[in-house]
Amino acid sequence: MAILVIYYSRSGNTQQMAHAVGEGVRAEGLEAVVKPVSETRVEELLEADGFILGSPTYYGTLAWPIKQFIDESVKYHGKLVGKVGGAFTSSGGAGGGNETTLLSMLQALLIHGMIIQGTSSGDHYGPVSVKSPDDKALERCRALGGRVAKLAKALADIQLRNM
């Protein structure tokens, strides 16, 4: 089983977060494929058991390369149902639209019929880092990777993929 972690990063902050998400996936015994969006083919979504998107927050929403990737994924509408997903973001400030960025990515995953798990502690919709990720943000990234991996394994065990 494999979880794909797809990210866009200009400053390196989102990239650091992506690698921490991958660590969380691996800690649960699944393969983590951590790749920049520029090196990811949309067809890879079909092969993965789940995927997690990471983007910086730009003007309250996701970066264009991630949005473009989501737009290209439309050709697989109906074929990603039951896969597990999640999202994370980094930004320059606490009030710059972090939650709207996360929600815009999660909305796309939900429209694909994917299964999303939030958290009651910390960053409810997904990990957020303001500027360079600190230890707390990186731990939340690992936790996201772990939650997605656990859920993907549980779904595989009960074979809910073809509902």
All structural domains of the chain: 2-158 (3.40.50.360)
Strands 31-36 and 50-58: unpaired
Looking at residue 131, what is its pLDDT?
Answer: 94
Looking at residue 158, what is its pLDDT?
Answer: 76
* Other CB atoms within 10 Å distance of the CB of residue 2: 16
pTM here is 0.95
- Bridge partner list, 7: 36, 54
* Other CB atoms within 10 Å distance of the CB of residue 91: 21
Segments of the chain scoring below 50 in pLDDT: 160-161
Three-class secondary structure assignment of 5-46: EEECCCCCHHHHHHHHHHHHHHHCCCEEEEEEHHHCCCCHHH
- Gap between the Cα atoms of 89 and 98, Å rounded: 7
Looking at residue 47, what is its pLDDT?
Answer: 96
* Identity of residue 1: M
